[in-house]
Chains A and B, each alone.
Chain A
Amino acid sequence: MNRDADLIPLLRDWLADGDRDVPGPVRIAVLETIAAVPQRRHRWLASRPNPLAGQRQLRVIALVAVLIALLALLAAASLVPFAGSSPKPAHVKNGWIAFSTQPHDTQVGVSDVRRGGDIYIAHDRDDLRVLVSRGPEMDTNVCPAFSPDGTRLAYGELTDAGPALVILDLDPDGTVTGRTRLPVDATNTAAPCPRWSDDGTRIGSLERRNLVVIHGLDGSILEAVDGDPTFADFAWDIDPWDSGPLISPSGELGVMWRDGGYFTHPLDGSTDRRIGTQSGALAGWSPDSSRILLMHDGGMAMALDALSVEPPFEKTVIADGVPVNGARSWPGRRDVSWQALSE
């Protein structure tokens, strides 16, 4: 006999108590939003690229290369202005890795999603430290994002004072030297997830009703311009378990899970390569495109590894034994940011 026979009918009635129609504003907002959301048309195939496709890709790449060379010549002659975004450094190296997670509850096996979150930084397990603590008030701190030049770290905060974006100035040794708090619309019921503009002077956040709001660093709300974050930059906020390929910062490689392992897919159409037998959830790329971050669930703890994408696929443990609030509270892609340092 089912020992829950008495409980199940009560549970069903209670769950059905919340039945209701989709409210008008939600439905309308969805239909308005999808008008600006393109459907995904391209998926990476599990099969090996066929040689003919490779030849076609090579022809296209050659044509693009010629165009790029022409543009570079024009730029060098100052005939094409590149206003609006600062040039990316030619070479970058890898700095701190920041990630946010939620702690476990005091009672093992019990999860409460509303019990705050911490932001950690690390190079490897020996220098793992809590940069922003939930504190006794159980504040929520999520979505750390390094500025393009690596000197600042933005994150989303939700405290008794309401939701806000916070910007920290960081020394190279990870010491916080300044803190700016930018409150966002108080009707947001979740902490905002920040994304930087290309030039690092503005921050976008996805707020209620999937509206991208652009914030100046002085707290002003700005009109969006070229180089600002757009809705597409928040794709991982919409579906953090999306299994599509993650493109490297260099734009040369995609990486994704298939056939029981991670593979890199050179975007020039050359043969893909299996990068070891490591498992775990893909969290991101290093700024120099040499390593990927993988997360592992350890029950009520999580681990984060950096794995080289070149043989012999060296692995570095960035963090392990970090207390989390259940299997799904270890970081998603939006919860991890790897600092880029100019050489």
Chain B
Amino acid sequence: MDKELVIRAREGDRAAFADLVSAIGRRLQSSADAILRDRALAEDATQQALIAIWRDLPTLRDPAAFEAWAFRVLVRTCYAEGKRARRWTLDFSVPHLPTASDDIGAVVIRDQLERAFCRLTLEQRAVIVLHHYLDMSRANVAVALGIPLGTVNSRLLLAMSAMRAAIEADARPPSTTNALEEPSR
């Protein structure tokens, strides 16, 4: 990240901030998409994060820390937006439809990953996204989220275990004598 750009934006230069949005906006938006799994919510969270970043930029002492700080703000707005979200949300995004080049197995895996990921808490999702999607080191994830390194490690461990368990449960063939099956209405 261009430190000079951050310094200019910190001093109130809106054009410099627009350049910062261009530079970091895509990663913020994609990360919010990945954490919230809802495009409309992710857009709102990203927009709110960018406004908070603009508003609070003068409080950032070290321009080199801009990126980690920006992701911390984003994760917070994702938490807030996720909390206000509706139980169900219409997703107007185009689903990933299988194409000739897709093999059916890959589509099934994507669906399993989606279901397993959505079972995670927002905190677990955030750690996974920062570490496995943005390629941040665990130490940098700790800085970005403002949590101890040990907490990052435990959240990652729990999240991956939960995902694995959900995928394995998903792949298991349904029992024909399921005692917990809902009675037909």
Q: Please determine whether A14 and B164 come into contact, CB atoms closer than 8 angstroms.
A: no
**B residues contacting the other copy or chain, number (CB 8 A):** 65
Chain B residue at minimum C-beta to C-beta distance from A115: B87
Q: Please determine whether B84 and A191 come into contact, CB atoms closer than 8 angstroms.
A: yes
Residue-by-residue, is A129-165 near B (CB-CB < 8 Å gives 1, otherwise 0)? 0000000011110110000000000001010000100
Number of inter-chain CB pairs below 8 Å: 181
> Would you list which residues of chain B between 71 and 120 have a CB under 8 Å from chain A?
73, 76-77, 79-89, 96, 109-110, 113-114, 117-120
A11-B132, A26-B47, A326-B123 given as contacts; is B86 within 8 A of A190 (CB)? Answer: yes
A17-B110, A38-B55, A238-B55 given as contacts; is B47 within 8 A of A190 (CB)? Answer: no
> What does DSSP make chain A's interface, helix, strand, loop or mixed?
loop
Most buried by B among A20, A113, A208: A113
B136 in the interface, Cβ–Cβ < 8 Å? no
Q: Please determine whether B133 and A15 come into contact, CB atoms closer than 8 angstroms.
A: yes
Residues of B within 8 A of A21 (CB): 26, 29
B52 in the interface, Cβ–Cβ < 8 Å? yes
Residue-by-residue, is B58-75 near A (CB-CB < 8 Å gives 1, otherwise 0)? 110000000000000100
Binding site for A on B (CB under 8 A): 12, 14, 17-18, 21-22, 25-26, 28-30, 33-34, 38, 40-41, 43-44, 46-48, 50-52, 54-59, 73, 76-77, 79-89, 96, 109-110, 113-114, 117-123, 128-129, 132-133, 160, 162-164, 167
A-B contact pairs, 23 of them (CB 8 A): A10-B113, A11-B163, A14-B110, A15-B128, A18-B33, A20-B30, A20-B33, A23-B29, A26-B29, A30-B50, A31-B21, A39-B55, A102-B83, A112-B119, A113-B83, A138-B87, A140-B86, A140-B87, A158-B85, A190-B85, A209-B44, A239-B56, A328-B123
Binding site for B on A (CB under 8 A): 4, 7-8, 10-12, 14-23, 26-27, 29-31, 33-35, 37-41, 43, 102, 109-117, 137-140, 142-143, 156, 158, 163, 189-191, 193, 208-210, 235, 237-242, 326-329, 332
Beyond the given A8-B132, A190-B41, A332-B80, please list 12 additional residue pairs across the A-B interface where CB-CB is below 8 A.
A7-B167, A10-B113, A11-B113, A22-B28, A27-B25, A29-B47, A31-B17, A110-B162, A113-B83, A190-B85, A326-B122, A328-B79
